[in-house]
Amino acid sequence: MTNGQRDTSKPLPAPSAAAPVVCAGCTATRDVKSTLNGIPRTPSGWKRHADCYYCSSCWGRAYLLRTIALPIASPLDCTWDELNALLRQAWQLTTSACNWMMTELYARDVRRTGAEEMPPMPSVYLYPELRQRFPDLPSSTVATLERACQRKYRAVRYRVLWTSGAALPNYRYPAPFPVPAQGWQVECQDGVTVISLRLGGQRLRLRLKGGPQFRLQLRLAALIASGEAVPGEAYLRQEGSAILFSMAAWLPRQQPAAVRDRTGVLTVATRRDCLLTASNARKEAIWIYNADHLRRWQAAHARQLQRWSEDHKYEQRPVPAFAARREAAVRKYRHRMESACHEIAAQLAGYASRRRYATVRYDDSERGFCEQFPWFRLRSMIAEKMDAAGIALELAQPAVNQPDEEGQP
Ligand SMILES: [Zn+2]
């Protein structure tokens, strides 16, 4: 195929291209495959929010999950009769899809023979068949239903399959209709809360009930509307004569309390025999950062530069043959030192934060461990990271600007 024939308006799909996904909190990395539109798949248990990825423990430290339900007061774009018809159809589909899945999961599972232990469940992927059988259900709804049914089946599997202590779960009409996290929005204006979502192929806005009895729910809805809380899965379900919209949302944990609890001074100093030590009020060294690798890198880099400068004397050309390599080596070295400063500052800030120190006193007057280390850069990064952690930084000596430190050794 020539270039002229290729349709360049559509990027080639790369469903199997592996791309690393990095946690924005702890920099943990996972290799994942990309989706058809080139976005890396979110690893299982991870969260994607505002174009960043978070591992489950970082996400759990920052957010907590809350679920609220509010009754629908009135549809804004159609009549109640039309809304009821759409809901009836949606609930019929979810109910039959769930029951079909339960039966299939059971049918494709192992049967009890004489074995003492129940074998693990064979992996069953029903999504493609579900899409064919229930073409009127949105794909994201099908995916959510499958996850929910698999979870429910696995929870009862032992009693259903092995001990016959329970019957296979049966969904009764109306099984709740799931709306994925990206499939609904909420707006709060002048005390009126409105959600919008797609149902039966059309976009609908529904007004939710207000009033003092829903104070807590409305407050969370307002946090979702303002973008402060991160929306999760939602469901449309029936309860008595009411139609409820139940929504899950991730609420940011309150951090200021942790900052208020802090006390004490951590004294951090550079040393001749290691890069940094931190000691408590009793002058006991409680944290040490050796960083022998920094000395090795520095020595190797200085040796290499020295050899290049010796060779330069015998070069006839004004620009030596190794100029490009030397430049690359200097760049690489600076980059390495920059990353090292980040890493050291983050380690120190993490330690001081976990030990709940209110203040860090920092003295970097001893430079004997590694003369050519970018000490000034390290100090400014420590200042940044302490600030982000809410820890005060006291410098033992005034910060003298030494830009030449940043340069090559
Ligand atoms: Zn993480």
* Predicted pLDDT of residue 161: 87
Contacts of 386 (CB under 8 A, 6+ apart): 349, 352, 360, 392, 393
Residue 92: what are its φ and ψ, rounded to 5°?
Answer: -60, -45
Confidence of residue 78 (pLDDT cuts 50, 70, 90): very high
Asked if pLDDT for residue 234 goes beyond 50, the answer is yes
* From 26-40, 93-107, 350-364, the region with the lowest mean pLDDT: 26-40
Q: Which of 91, 107, 95 is nearest to 153 (CA)?
A: 107
For residue 364, the CA-to-ligand 1 centroid distance in Å is 31
Asked if pLDDT for residue 102 goes beyond 60, the answer is yes
Give CA 390 to chain center in angstroms. 22
For residue 58, the CA-to-ligand 1 centroid distance in Å is 4
For residue 193, the CA-to-ligand 1 centroid distance in Å is 34
Residue 330: what are its φ and ψ, rounded to 5°?
Answer: -65, -40
Angle, CA 131 vertex, CA 125 and CA 133 arms, to 5°? 105
**Residue 14, burial from CB neighbour count under 10 angstroms (0-12, 13-18, 19+):** middle
* Tokens 């890396």 found at: 40
For residue 57, the CA-to-ligand 1 centroid distance in Å is 6
* Predicted pLDDT of residue 258: 56
Residues β-bridged to residue 193: 188, 208
For residue 19, the CA-to-ligand 1 centroid distance in Å is 17
For residue 60, the CA-to-ligand 1 centroid distance in Å is 9
For residue 359, the CA-to-ligand 1 centroid distance in Å is 26
* Predicted pLDDT of residue 172: 92
Confidence of residue 166 (pLDDT cuts 50, 70, 90): confident
The tokens describing 278, both together, are 């931190």
* Tokens 């995916």 found at: 143
For residue 183, the CA-to-ligand 1 centroid distance in Å is 26
How far apart CA 136 and CA 125 sit, in angstroms, is 19
For residue 21, the CA-to-ligand 1 centroid distance in Å is 11
Residue with the bigger pLDDT between 330 and 74: it is 74
How far apart CA 224 and CA 218 sit, in angstroms, is 10
* Predicted pLDDT of residue 91: 96
For residue 52, the CA-to-ligand 1 centroid distance in Å is 11
CA distances for 90 relative to 74, 75, 237, 331, angstroms: 18, 16, 10, 60
For residue 346, the CA-to-ligand 1 centroid distance in Å is 14
- With residues binned 3-state (H G I as helix, E B as strand, rest as coil), the percentages for the chain, rounded to 5, are 40, 25, 35
Confidence of residue 13 (pLDDT cuts 50, 70, 90): very low
Q: Which of 141, 111, 110, 147 is nearest to 126 (CA)?
A: 147
The tokens describing 89, both together, are 């159809």
For residue 55, the CA-to-ligand 1 centroid distance in Å is 4
* Predicted pLDDT of residue 209: 94
Confidence of residue 3 (pLDDT cuts 50, 70, 90): very low
Average pLDDT over every residue of 162-173 = 90
**Which residues in the chain are classed under CATH 3.30.420?**
259-307+323-406
For residue 54, the CA-to-ligand 1 centroid distance in Å is 5
CA distances for 391 relative to 16, 278, 396, angstroms: 45, 15, 16
For residue 159, the CA-to-ligand 1 centroid distance in Å is 36
For residue 15, the CA-to-ligand 1 centroid distance in Å is 25
Strands 265-270 and 192-199: unpaired
Strands 265-270 and 359-363: parallel
For residue 350, the CA-to-ligand 1 centroid distance in Å is 14
The tokens describing 328, both together, are 């690359």
Residue 131 C-beta-side C-alpha neighbours within 13 Å: 8
Confidence of residue 163 (pLDDT cuts 50, 70, 90): confident
**Residue 24, burial from CB neighbour count under 10 angstroms (0-12, 13-18, 19+):** middle
Do residues 369 and 344 make contact, with C-beta atoms less than 8 angstroms apart? no
Residue with the bigger pLDDT between 174 and 386: it is 174
Residue ranges in 158-291 assigned as alpha helix (H): 215-226, 256-260
Highest mean pLDDT out of 78-82, 120-124, 217-221, 253-257: 78-82
Average pLDDT over every residue of 57-63 = 84
Average pLDDT over every residue of 102-125 = 87
pTM above 0.75, yes or no: no
Residue with the bigger pLDDT between 61 and 268: it is 268
Asked if pLDDT for residue 9 goes beyond 70, the answer is no
How far apart CA 384 and CA 41 sit, in angstroms, is 32
Contacts of 186 (CB under 8 A, 6+ apart): 193, 194, 195, 196, 221, 224, 225, 231, 247
Name residue 192's amino acid: V
Residue 306's CB is within 10 A of a number of other CB atoms, namely 10
Asked if pLDDT for residue 257 goes beyond 80, the answer is no
For residue 343, the CA-to-ligand 1 centroid distance in Å is 15
The model's pLDDT over 181-210, given as tens digits with 9 standing for 90+, comes to 889 999 988 889 999 999 988 899 999 999
* Predicted pLDDT of residue 372: 82
Residue 165: DSSP 8-state: -
| CATH of range 259-307+323-406; options 3.10.20, 3.20.20, 3.30.420, 2.60.40 | 3.30.420
For residue 42, the CA-to-ligand 1 centroid distance in Å is 13
Give CA 76 to chain center in angstroms. 35
Mean pLDDT over the full length of the chain = 85
How far apart CA 186 and CA 267 sit, in angstroms, is 49
* Predicted pLDDT of residue 2: 37
For residue 238, the CA-to-ligand 1 centroid distance in Å is 38
For residue 387, the CA-to-ligand 1 centroid distance in Å is 21
CA distances for 161 relative to 105, 112, 113, 125, 244, angstroms: 11, 7, 11, 19, 34
Q: Which of 147, 144, 150, 139 is nearest to 105 (CA)?
A: 150
How far apart CA 305 and CA 310 sit, in angstroms, is 9
